[in-house]
Amino acid sequence: MTRRFLYCTLAALCLYSIFPCRILAVETSAASAILMDADSGRVLYEHNADRKMLIASTTKILTALVAIEEGDLHDSVKVSREAAYTEGSAMYLTEGETLTLETLLYGVLLCSGNDAAVAVAQHVGGSVKGFVALMNEKARELGMEHSSFANPNGLDDEQHYSTARDMAKLARAALENETLMRIASTRSVTIGGRTMTNHNKLLHYVDGCLGLKTGYTKAAGRTLVSCAEKNGQRLIAVTLQDGNDWADHQALYEYGFSAYPARTCAVRGQALTQAPVSGGVSPTVPLIAGAGFCYPAAETERLTTRICLDEPLRAPVSAGKTVGAAVFCLNGTEIGRVPLVAGRTVMPKVSSALAGLKLELKDEWPAVRRDQGTK
């Protein structure tokens, strides 16, 4: 029976951060909170992160994501009476006016316009109910297992709730949507005859803040989902029912970037190690990382790399061929892997018999030429 043979060698390479870091204690005033590394999904801090809670206008992150994926930014949207007279925060739409979907999304994410959210929902989903169905479908797709949405704006409803962990998952998806992040990171804009200013003060308070969304209702309290970037590392912070959210998010980022900096395990295109090659003109071949890999880790944590070949390498080996994987572990537990490719071609050795044959032919060649010349 043919079995895939795993040829694993322990690289015994512990990848430590170049810069020393101190792990500082952190706490918030939030009833529920989480700090997550955006790229790896690693949770760096959490407090009641799975408690189902009202989320107010942070709902509008999902509203914007669904609208961008399902709609056309250049569409013209006519404002209905229902949208114009929606209660709560507004971009002050008037019944019958026409705006582009993009303008309305600025109203959703900057002004936190409940009226804009309803107008967007009616246009993209055909009705608010139809759009809410799309929201819940997207939430399930993102793995938001403890969330339910009843409207596009976050107004209080028994069937409208989420968790800090689920909202962090939503933020990870939002970060991958360039249009949404372009709008959410805008501090102020004049579009469609309106000047709108972003409610998110972290854009001013935190260097590298990328946006996302504020929220408030009397029942939900202050809610905030944000993300920030430093040295190529992106973190997501979520606080629910937090009266001191601006300061808490700043503290969370200071803690996360200091205590859990992203440490580089592999750089795409660079050699990680050498592997032996049997029967080749060269005894080894460099193994090149087919992708990059970074992971947030504390100074006291141990990152190791294990090189696993699909099988022992025998010549010929072609440059660029995938021959195995580099497996990365944190304190002995796998956290990721990248493919390894051969860094150069290794040809097989020429046998002694064949070498002798070549020499014999070479020695005979002049005689053949002389014979042909006498004819």
Catalytic option among 32, 40, 112, 226: 112
Residue 33 CA from chain centroid, whole number: 20
Q: Give the residue from 279, 267, 288, 273 showing the smallest Cα distance to 344.
A: 288
**Under 8 Å between Cβ of 263 and 255:** no
- Helix, strand, coil shares of the chain as percentages rounded to 5? 30, 30, 40
Residues with Cβ < 8 Å from 223, sequence gap 6 or more? 54, 55, 56, 57, 58, 214, 215, 216, 239, 240, 241, 242, 245
Catalytic option among 60, 138, 169, 213: 60
- DSSP string for residues in 141-179: HTT-TT-B-S-SS----TT-BB-HHHHHHHHHHHHT-HH
Would you say the C-alpha torsion 13, 14, 17, 18 has a positive or negative sign?
Answer: negative
DSSP code of 39? T
CA distance between the termini of the chain? 63
| C-alpha span between 110 and 167 (Å, rounded) | 18
Q: Give the residue from 267, 266, 284 showing the smallest Cα distance to 275.
A: 284
**For the packed helices 60-70 and 114-125, what is the interaxial angle rounded to 10 degrees?**
30
Which residue blocks in the chain are alpha helix, DSSP H? 60-70, 81-84, 101-109, 114-125, 128-141, 164-175, 178-184, 202-205, 245-259, 352-374
| 3-state DSSP assignment of residue 328 | strand
Catalytic option among 57, 80, 147, 226: 57
User: Which tokens go with 56?
Assistant: 């107010």
User: Which tokens go with 273?
Assistant: 């190690």
- Catalytic (active site) residue 60: yes
- Catalytic (active site) residue 282: no
- Catalytic (active site) residue 188: no
Active site residues: 57, 60, 112
